[in-house]
Amino acid sequence: MLKENNQDRKWKTLKSEYLIKRPWLTARKDHVQLPTGAENKEYYVLEYPDWINVLAITKDGHFLMERQYRHGLGLTCYEICAGVCEKGESALEAAKRELYEETGFGGGTWQHWMDISANPSTTNNLCHCFLATGVERVSTQHLEETEDISIELLTSDEVRTLLVGDHIKQALMAAPLWKYFAVNKLL
């Protein structure tokens, strides 16, 4: 039987201090006590605003994929549209804004697809995933100075090949794609 209570093993925070607070990196050190009574005096948490990503499919059935260099791995990766929820912005508003800015695509039918965490052990945010079908180009890209994103329209066979071949490296992007292929029996 699945447990409905997601707070039943909650830790008690005895002390908390910020080690760094920057726009793209906030790290906190907590002194915590487990329900067993055991204490961990150095438990580190990375704080981020919530993220979004968008599994976007055009009117003619192509997957809207992005390619960009990722310095951490030193690789140029295939990805879906993703970004940060700005203060006061709903996850859906952020998803539509990011798709427009990064790709120049918009419109279509939108649905909440899933919520996932990069690492629930050490990060405090969620990634809200959306499925947008029937999107179309409405503009050019509106990239920030530090963004260098190319757009590719791929078939479902090409995206499946990327997934099965381990070419989608970002787990938060692979998960909604795998779910889409499983739900639609495309594996």
- Closest to 76 in 3D by CA, of 162, 185, 176: 162
Decide if pLDDT at 7 tops 90: no
Query: Which range of residues forms the domain containing residue 88?
Result: 51-183
Question: Which one has a higher pLDDT value, 9 or 130?
Answer: 130
In a shared domain, residues 34 and 95: no
C-alpha to C-alpha distances, 161 to 22, 58, 74, 149, nearest whole angstrom: 38, 19, 22, 21
Same-domain status, 150 and 84: yes
pLDDT, tens digit, for every residue of 156-177?
999 999 999 999 999 999 999 9
Do 26 and 58 fall within a single domain? no
Instruction: Give the list of residues 6+ apart from residue 24 with CB closer than 8 angstroms, or none.
Output: none
- pLDDT tens digit string along 149-159? 999 999 999 99
Answer whether residue 4 is part of any domain: no
Instruction: Say if residue 76 is in the same domain as residue 122.
Output: yes
Rounded CA-CA distance 53/84 in Å is 9
Question: What is the pLDDT confidence band of residue 24, given thresholds at 50, 70 and 90?
Answer: confident
Task: Assess whether 169 and 125 both reside in one domain.
Answer: yes
Asked whether the predicted pLDDT for residue 108 surpasses 90, the reply is yes
Q: Is 1's pLDDT higher than 80?
A: no
pLDDT computed for residue 160 by the predictor: 97
Give me 10's structure tokens: 């909650």
pLDDT (0 to 100) of residue 64: 98
Model confidence at 85: pLDDT above 90: yes
Q: Please report whether residue 7 resides in a domain.
A: no
pLDDT of residue 58: 98
pLDDT at 118: 96
Q: How many domains does the chain have?
A: 2
Whether residues 67 and 153 share a domain: the answer is yes
Domain membership of residue 2 (yes or no) is: no
**Same domain, residue pair 38 and 123:** no
Residue 23's alpha-carbon distances to 12, 29, 49, 136, in angstroms, are 27, 18, 10, 32
Examine the domain organization and report whether 161 and 82 are in the same domain: yes
